[in-house]
Structure 1
Amino acid sequence: MNSVEQLHEAEQALLKIFSGIDAKVKQNLKRVLNAFRHHKVGAHHFTGVTGYGHDDLGREILDKVFAEVMGTEAAVVRVQFVSGTHAIACALFGTLRPGDEMLAVAGAPYDTLEEVIGLRGRDRGSLIDFGVSYRQLDLTPDGTIDWEKLSSTVKQNTRLVLIQRSCGYSWRPSLSITDIEKIIYLVKQQNPDTICFVDNCYGEFIETQEPSHVGADLMAGSLIKNPGGTIVNAGGYIAGRAELVESAACRLTAPGIGSAGGATFDQNRLLFQGLFLAPQMVGEAMKGTHLTGYVFDKLGYPVNPAPLAPRRDVIQAIKLGSPEKLIAFCKAIQSHSPIGSYLDPIPDEMPGYESKVVMAGGTFIEGSTSEFSADGPLREPYVVYCQGGTHWTHVAIALSAAMEAVEAA
Structure 2
Amino acid sequence: MSNSFNILHAAEQALFPIFSGIDSQVKHNLKKVLTAFRHHRVGGHHFAGVSGYGHDDLGRQTLDLVFAQVMQAEAAIVRVQFVSGTHAIACALFGVLRPGDEMLSVAGPPYDTLEEVIGIRGNAQGSLLEFGIDYRQLNLTKEGTIDWQGLSQSVSDRTSLVLIQRSCGYSWRSSLSIADIEKIIAIVKQQNPNTICFVDNCYGEFIEDREPTAVGADLMAGSLIKNPGGTIVTAGGYVAGRADLVEAAACRLTAPGIGSSGGATFDQNRLLYQGLFLAPQMVGEATKGNHLTAYVFDKLGYPVNPLPMAPRRDVIQAIKLGSMQKLIAFCKAIQQHSPIGSYLDPVPGEMPGYESLLVMAGGTFIDGSTSEFSADGPLREPYVVFCQGGTHWTHVAIALEAAIEAVEAA
Separation in 2, partners of 1:349, 1:89? 21
Per-residue deviation, 1:92 = 0.2
Residue-by-residue CA offset, 1:207-241 (whole Å, 9 max, x unaligned) = 00000110000000000000000000000000000
Matches within 5 A, 1:171-320: 171-320=172-321
Report the AA paired with residue 273 of structure 2. Answer: F
**Paired residues, number:** 409
Alignment TM-score, normalising by the size of structure 2: 0.99
- CA RMSD for the aligned pairs? 0.5
Per-residue deviation, 1:151 = 1.3
Per-residue deviation, 1:310 = 0.1
Alignment TM-score, normalising by the size of structure 1: 1.00
Separation in 1, partners of 2:124, 2:10? 54
Per-residue deviation, 1:152 = 1.6
2:130 counterpart residue number: 129
1:117 counterpart residue number: 118
Separation in 1, partners of 2:278, 2:122? 38
1:34 counterpart residue number: 35
2:164 counterpart residue number: 163
Separation in 1, partners of 2:380, 2:123? 24
Per-residue deviation, 1:122 = 2.6
Separation in 1, partners of 2:195, 2:59? 34
Report the AA paired with residue 339 of structure 1. Answer: I
Matches within 5 A, 1:86-125: 86-125=87-126
SS at match of 2:164: strand
Separation in 2, partners of 1:367, 1:121? 23
SS at match of 2:154: coil
Q: 1:354 to 1:6 in 2, by over 3 A?
A: same
SS at match of 1:14: helix
1:146 counterpart residue number: 147
Per-residue deviation, 1:157 = 1.2
Per-residue deviation, 1:401 = 0.1
Report the AA paired with residue 147 of structure 1. Answer: W
Separation in 2, partners of 1:295, 1:326? 16
Residue-by-residue CA offset, 1:173-218 (whole Å, 9 max, x unaligned) = 0000000000000000000000000000000000000001100000
Report the AA paired with residue 105 of structure 1. Answer: V
1:81 counterpart residue number: 82
Identity rate of aligned residues, in percent? 81
Q: Does the CA-based 8 Å contact 2:304-2:317 persist in structure 1?
A: yes
Report the AA paired with residue 394 of structure 2. Answer: T
1:358 counterpart residue number: 359
Separation in 1, partners of 2:344, 2:123? 36
Report the AA paired with residue 180 of structure 1. Answer: I
Residue-by-residue CA offset, 1:247-273 (whole Å, 9 max, x unaligned) = 000000000000000000000000000
Residue-by-residue CA offset, 1:265-286 (whole Å, 9 max, x unaligned) = 0000000000000000000000
Q: Does the CA-based 8 Å contact 2:160-2:194 persist in structure 1?
A: yes
Report the AA paired with residue 347 of structure 2. Answer: I
Per-residue deviation, 1:155 = 1.0
Matched, 1:69 2:92: no
Per-residue deviation, 1:69 = 0.2
Separation in 2, partners of 1:351, 1:358? 13
Separation in 1, partners of 2:248, 2:363? 36
Structure 2, unmatched stretches of 5+, are none
Separation in 1, partners of 2:8, 2:195? 47
